[in-house]
Amino acid sequence: MYTMTSSSQPAKLWVKTQTFHTSPPQGFDLVLGGKLKQLEVAYETYGTLNHDKSNAILICSPLTTDAHAAGWNSEEDKKPGWWDEMIGPSKAIDTNRYFVIAQNMLGGCKGTTGPASINPDTGKPYGSSFLKITVEDMVHVQRLLVEHLGIDVLEAVVGGSMGGMQALQWSVSYPDKVRKCMCIAAAASLSAQALGFEIIGRKAIVNDPDYREGDYYVNGSPPEKGLAYARMIGHLTYLSAISMRQKFGRNQRPNTDREHFETGFEVESYLNHQGEQFVQRFDANSYLHITYAMDTFDLASRYGSLENAFRDSQAEFLLVGLSSDWLFPTEQTHELAKVLLNLKKVASVAELDSPYGHDAFLLEVEHLSRVLQGFLEKPTYSAKAAATLHPSEKSVLDSTRDLDALAGFIKPGSHILDVGCGDGAFIDRMFHQSKVTGVGIDFDLSHVVDCLRKNVPVVQGDVDHGLSLFGDQVFDYAVLNRTLQEVKRPRLVLREVLRVARKAVVAFPNFGHIGNRLSLTFTGAMPITKALPHSWHDTPNIHLFSLNDFQELCARENIVIEELICFPGSLPSRLILAAGFKNAGAEFVVAKISRKR
Amino acid sequence: MYTMTSSSQPAKLWVKTQTFHTSPPQGFDLVLGGKLKQLEVAYETYGTLNHDKSNAILICSPLTTDAHAAGWNSEEDKKPGWWDEMIGPSKAIDTNRYFVIAQNMLGGCKGTTGPASINPDTGKPYGSSFLKITVEDMVHVQRLLVEHLGIDVLEAVVGGSMGGMQALQWSVSYPDKVRKCMCIAAAASLSAQALGFEIIGRKAIVNDPDYREGDYYVNGSPPEKGLAYARMIGHLTYLSAISMRQKFGRNQRPNTDREHFETGFEVESYLNHQGEQFVQRFDANSYLHITYAMDTFDLASRYGSLENAFRDSQAEFLLVGLSSDWLFPTEQTHELAKVLLNLKKVASVAELDSPYGHDAFLLEVEHLSRVLQGFLEKPTYSAKAAATLHPSEKSVLDSTRDLDALAGFIKPGSHILDVGCGDGAFIDRMFHQSKVTGVGIDFDLSHVVDCLRKNVPVVQGDVDHGLSLFGDQVFDYAVLNRTLQEVKRPRLVLREVLRVARKAVVAFPNFGHIGNRLSLTFTGAMPITKALPHSWHDTPNIHLFSLNDFQELCARENIVIEELICFPGSLPSRLILAAGFKNAGAEFVVAKISRKR
């Protein structure tokens, strides 16, 4: 499929767009009613399907792209496929490992059946007779293609924007045919704001006098002005305020024709250019049908609730939100995550910090690659569960006295939430040690990637807010391992962990430890110790407290301390602890707590 | 002008729109070239002009409003003027105190000269012959009106959105004719993103076949479809994602005609309705001319730089940003504030937390009222400076031993920045005590209003980020009064205060105080004292440190502690302090620091 040259640049990956034709005997039923007699699907593949056909990844494409996702079609191409930076040998979606399928969606105008295709009943383009389609229809067509390629279960479906909607639909429509579902910059439905822009865009097309109810293919010109407006409006929703500022600011183009209230701002030339380019390559009817399918996509309303939609899905999920995306704001990513996590699905959420708005899923290649690769690299959760751990691997599991104590508090087979999970080592250890399942929360992208690599489900987020994602008593245990003293509102976090979990296990440095007291008393400086290693001005430990303080707060909050293990520091504190003075003797404390009944 | 009835509801304020006609002998020169021979300006007034004509406030109006800003024109009115909630007896803009002037802007279609007015040269509507206008022209016309009403200096100009641009232009064009300039949800120019939406909106109008180059008044119908699109696009920029979600979500209207790809979503009906309503009440040419003036408004490019634009202005400024406004994001408010503050203008910035997007300036009446009223209520800075303080007033000035010590460090006549200024009492005290001028930073709206009431210039913002507003060495002193232990990054804040000011005066509770040491040592709990009154889990003091810690950090950061005053707590610590043990004896420390040279 590709060859390496001796230069440092890999050789171009040459690829040819193919077409799959099918005429199902009873026709292809559309969800909103009616049938299509014939179907054509344009597609490309990259990499090699393995012997047991278990390495196939389907790329679901966004609004206006085509089947040419990666590589080069011909020497004349000025640029490679639209997601070439993500798909290829040794790239995030690694064609050395995976057999990757890209395709043009139903309703499109790039080789797959759409409104500009010939209607077999009339011998003329469908135009106004093309029936309304849905994202579900698109996915059913993709399933036909996948079966045609001899594949039963997909290793992964992956899609950004509208492709993310298709990826979600796959896990709902074919709950046992997808092992990993990767949904980037998308949601289970469009927001009211996004709908508003879409609606205005379509209105511009259907009100263009050239539109003629969609039958503009013969004797006439297409509704180019309307389509160009729609594209311009759409384009603004793909960018962000910051990216537009960086790109254009208020720069003026010299010698601009200022007729018709044109301003000469670069942003105006850019929008004009986007509109002009788009009408050359896209069909207005396809734009109408596909955006309509996007607008009416709504898993909650289609299946009664999101819980119903995803209940049977066996896929593992990766949801990626983009911080400055206002077409699919990250709140929507979190809402979907909430549903999946409360259904106890294996689901992870990453939130990429990017100034580039919705388009970041095409631009933030490096960060997105790390996340996708981390998620793809490791075996699925069930495969991980089935694997026997080597003794040598066991020895690398993180094991310290306090982690052992925490672990000892947690019953085998429990479901846990690790609040401030770091690299996921604790959940991973518990999984191997006693078949404990769990989810981590951490705000750091590197930690999130570490978790993904271990196949530890993880939600990227702020602990002070992140727990709102979880329903009441979803977990058996919440773990606060060196986290409580780092949060902004410790009391609220304690309340929250005992809302989402039946019990919590808490490990914290005890500021009441004799070493801290003496250090402060005799040096007059904030203590720097093994348990509290940071200097005062640069410490994440913003709410220091002693064991006494903790006990007092628990009492006031109606929290029972069921078990308590104190770890002394040096020899004197061992003696103090042995004498029964816990608050003075303990350098580090591990406690199991629950709400008083 | 109004009467109170015996009911609890105030009687309606009846008002009549008036017209001011003028034909300047040489015509009215337009900034971009050309003249208007005649001018008409529709206006209303509320309240009574006082004897020395010093109580006049001009309302500058946003894009599509008219001169009818408050009260009721007739019994048939379904609602009062567009800003009636802000203007009236005992309202934020109090017509019992002020003589308030509202008007329709140049280029409008509500009684002021605009493209639909009769061109005196032809006897027909201007249409395509109406010359391009600017915000500056609008303000010059407003000046003619103000002079016609016999007023030389305005007590205030106030405007939201495009009205805010006019208010800024007033302070630039007439630097000595405005005492207070209140700019709400506006900026010194539109952002690239906002330009994008405006440009697409105008394009829809000029490409409407009914537009006919603007000459649609005679023999034809106006370009209603294009104007409706433009309005719909504009409307989306006035709302926010949250407000649209609350208002519409994905609700469907039953029995909607689904032709032409209509979705039946409530947001669609709403947009359609907005478009239909708008074309009934607004002229497309006015929309084109006014939005074009808005887009090309750019004080920095017009005057070379924002500094040049505002250099001579004698106005005091209040800039109000709205947290969810994406037409005029708060970053733009802060950029403008930065310029004004670095020019040492009297300027305050409030940022209203609102989910309602740009429209919040019409909706967040309560919060906006508090801010505007606070700013209007007090005499101007110069009046305050001229006033002699009564002895009884002096006694209410905040005076404690540590504030006295802080005050003692600051030379009379200095310019200071109070970081975490609270209610502004310290700056106010310093102003009265030794003619010190200054600016405060605080994130709390109540504190901001308190500052405004005292006429203490204040910037609403987060101390950890807020200092980026200020240029190098703009201040003589920065004040960190009980602030350093509350910030997220104390080291960075220390660096920043010594960047923006030559010296800093710092007051902080000393965690090394013997009382804290003994309390921790003997109770084993985090100390709760007069200097540190909060419990550990609920304290703003997230970076506790001792005097020793502070001294060590200063040494490491090349910061000189020029003077140091230690305040003991109870008697034992007095003795310790007297014995020379500062870190043990001081409960509270006040220091003057500067960067080592």
A452 shares a domain with A399: yes
The per-residue pLDDT for A423 is 94
Q: Among the options B161, B173, B286, B324, which is catalytic? A: B161
Closest CB from A229, A538, A546 relative to B524: A546
> Which residues of chain B make contact with A486, given a CB cutoff of 8 A?
none
The predicted structure's pLDDT at residue B390: 46
Residue A393 contacts by C-beta under 8 Å, 6 or more apart in sequence?
Answer: none
B191–A552 CB contact, under 8 Å: no
What integer pLDDT is reported at residue A393 of this predicted model? 41
Q: Which chain A residue shows the shortest CA-CA distance from B291?
A: A261
Q: Is B194 inside a domain boundary?
A: yes
**Max intra-chain CA distance, chain A:** 98
Whether B161 sits among the annotated catalytic residues: the reply is yes
User: Percentage of chain A surpassing pLDDT 90?
Assistant: 78
Helix axes B514-523, A514-523, angle to 10 degrees: 160
Residue A8 has a pLDDT of 53
> Which residues of chain A lie closer than 8 angstroms to B200, CB-CB?
229, 232-233, 236, 271
Catalytic residue, chosen from A94, A137, A283, A325, is A325
Q: How confident is the model at residue A6 (pLDDT cuts 50, 70, 90)?
A: very low
Among B376, B404, B428, the domain boundary falls at B376
- Does one domain contain both A542 and A585? yes
Report angle CA A476, A478, A484 to the nearest 5 degrees: 165
Q: Are residues A58 and A194 in the same domain?
A: yes
Residue-level length of chain B: 597
**CATH number for the domain harbouring residue A260:** 3.40.50.1820
User: Which chain B residues are Cβ-neighbours of A520 within 8 angstroms?
Assistant: 511-512, 516-517, 520-521, 546
Interstrand relation of B118-119 and A559-568 (parallel, antiparallel or unpaired): unpaired
* Both tokens assigned to A122: 């009339």
Q: Could B190 and A536 be called an inter-chain contact, meaning their C-beta atoms sit closer than 8 Å? A: no
All residues at 6 or more sequence positions from A526 whose CB lies less than 8 Å from its CB, including other chains: A520, A535, A536, B511, B544, B545, B546, B549
Q: Are residues B104 and B185 in the same domain?
A: yes
Residue numbers of the domain that contains A231 = 18-376
Spatial separation of the C-alpha atoms in residues B85 and A565, rounded to whole Å: 62
Report the CATH number at residue B434.
Answer: 3.40.50.150
Higher pLDDT, A480 or A465: A480
- Which helix or strand (DSSP H or E) is residue B402 part of? helix B401-409
Across the interface, do B525 and A548 touch by the CB < 8 Å criterion? yes
Q: Residues B505, B495: one domain?
A: yes
3-state secondary structure B492-548: HHHHHHHHHEEEEEEEEECCCCHHHHHHHHHHCCCCCCCCCCCCHHHCCCCCCCCHH
How many domains are there within chain B? 2
**Between chains, do B583 and A542 touch, taking CB under 8 Å as contact?**
no
Claim to verify: residue A346 and residue A421 sit in the same structural domain? no
Q: Do B207 and A200 touch (CB under 8 A)?
A: no
pLDDT averaged over every residue in chain A: 91
According to DSSP, residue B26 is labeled: T
A412/A271 same-domain check: no
CB contact under 8 A, A245 and B200: no
B372 shares a domain with B395: no
- Dihedral (CA of B200, B202, B204, B206) sign: negative
For residue B139, tell me if it sits in a domain.
yes
Give me B322's structure tokens.
């709205």
CA separation (Å) from A282 to A111, A224, A231, A571, B534? 12, 10, 10, 76, 64
Query: What residue of B is the nearest CA neighbor of A209?
Result: B209
Q: Which residues of A touch B552 (CB under 8 A)?
A: 525
pLDDT, average across residues A548-558: 95
HSE value, Cβ hemisphere, 13 Å, CA-based, for A286: 26
| Residue of A203, A256, A271 best to disrupt the B interface, most CBs of B under 10 A | A203
Q: What is the DSSP string of B467-504?
A: GGGS-TT-EEEEEEES-GGGSS-HHHHHHHHHHHEEEE
Contact B209 A207 (CB under 8 A): no
Distance from CA of B201 to the nearest CA of A (A): 9
Which of A241, A292, A526 comes nearest B191 by C-beta? A241
- In this structure, the answer to whether residues B305 and B399 fall within a common structural domain is no
**Same-domain check for residues A392 and A372:** no
What is the structure's pLDDT at B193? 95
Q: Six-digit token pair at B572?
A: 């034992």
ipTM over 0.95: no
What does the pLDDT look like over A441-472, one tens digit per residue? 999 999 999 999 998 999 999 888 778 889 99
pTM of the full predicted structure?
Answer: 0.92
Of B245, B301, B539, the CB nearest to A191: B245
Among B325, B343, B376, the domain-final residue is: B376
Q: Do the domain assignments include residue A381?
A: no
Q: What is the DSSP letter of A214?
A: G
Cβ B378 vs Cβ B454: under 8 Å: yes
Give the integer Cα–Cα distance in Å for A382 and A180.
12
**Residue B8 pLDDT:** 53
Across the interface, whether the CB atoms of A263 and B199 are under 8 A apart is answered yes
Beta-sheet strands, E only, within A164-313: 178-184
Would the CB atoms of B520 and A537 count as touching at under 8 Å? no
Alpha-carbon distance A274 to B571, whole Å? 77
Cβ separation of A539 and B543 shorter than 8 Å? yes
- On whether the CB atoms of residues B383 and B180 are closer than 8 A, the answer is no
Q: Identify residue A590 by its one-letter amino acid code.
A: V
In chain B, what residues touch A192 (CB-CB under 8 Å)? 241, 244-245, 247-250, 265, 267
CA distance A238 to chain B (A): 11
From the CA of A504, how many Å to the nearest CA of chain B?
18
The two three-digit tokens of residue A483, written as one number: 């986290």
Residues A63 and A83 in one domain: yes
Sign of CA dihedral A66, A68, A73, A79: positive
Counting one residue from chain A and one from chain B, the pairs whose CB atoms sit within 8 A come to 213
Tokens of residue B56, six digits: 């006049």
CB B267 within 8 A of CB A196: yes
Mean pLDDT by 10 residues, chain B (597 residues): 47 92 95 96 98 97 95 94 96 96 98 97 95 98 98 98 98 98 97 96 93 92 95 94 92 77 92 95 97 97 97 97 93 95 94 92 90 86 61 45 91 96 94 93 94 93 86 95 93 95 96 87 86 87 93 95 90 80 90 93
**Chain Cα centroid distance, residue B59:** 15
Using DSSP's 3-state secondary structure scheme, residue A134 falls into coil
Q: Tell me, yes or no, whether A307 and A362 share the same domain.
A: yes
A274: exposed, middle or buried (Cβ count in 10 Å: 0-12, 13-18, 19+): middle
Residue B1 placed within a domain: no
Q: Is residue A5 part of a domain?
A: no
One of B140, B358, B367, B513 is an active-site residue; which one?
Answer: B358
**DSSP tag of A525:** S
Per annotation, catalytic residue among A68, A289, A334, A358:
A358
Hey, are the CB atoms on B225 and A207 less than 8 Å from each other? yes
Element spanning B34, H or E? none
Alpha helices in B239-380 (DSSP H): 241-247, 266-281, 284-296, 299-303, 306-310, 330-342, 360-363, 365-377
Q: How far apart are CA A458 and CA A451, in angstroms?
A: 6
A4 in a domain, yes or no?
A: no
Q: Does residue A571 register a pLDDT over 80?
A: no
Nearest chain A residue to B241 by CA: give it.
Answer: A193
**Chain A partners of B244 at a C-beta cutoff of 8 Å?**
191-193, 196
User: Which residues in chain B touch residue A488, judged by CB atoms under 8 angstroms apart?
Assistant: 542
Subunit contact A491:B209, Cβ cutoff 8 A: no
Closest C-alpha to B345, from B310, B376, B387, B319? B310
Do the Cβ atoms of A524 and B543 come within 8 Å? no
pLDDT the model gives residue B256 = 64
Q: Is B358 a catalytic residue?
A: yes
Is residue A1 situated within a structural domain?
Answer: no
Give the pLDDT confidence of A99-139 residue by residue, as tens digits: 999 999 999 999 999 999 999 999 999 999 999 999 999 99
* Any domain includes B7: no
Q: At what angle do helices B192-206 and B284-296 cross, to 10 degrees?
A: 150
Measured in whole angstroms, how far is the alpha carbon of residue B563 from the centre of its chain? 38
* B556: chain A residues, CB-CB within 8 Å: none
B444 is catalytic: no
Top residue of B32, B128, B193, B206 to mutate, by most chain A CBs within 10 Å, is B193
Q: Which of B203, B537, B545 faces A526 most closely, judged by CB atoms? A: B545
**Which residues, in sequence order, are bridge partners of residue B477?**
B416, B503
Domain boundary among B354, B376, B398: B376
pLDDT beyond 80 at A395: no
**Inter-chain CB proximity A267 and B199 less than 8 Å:** yes
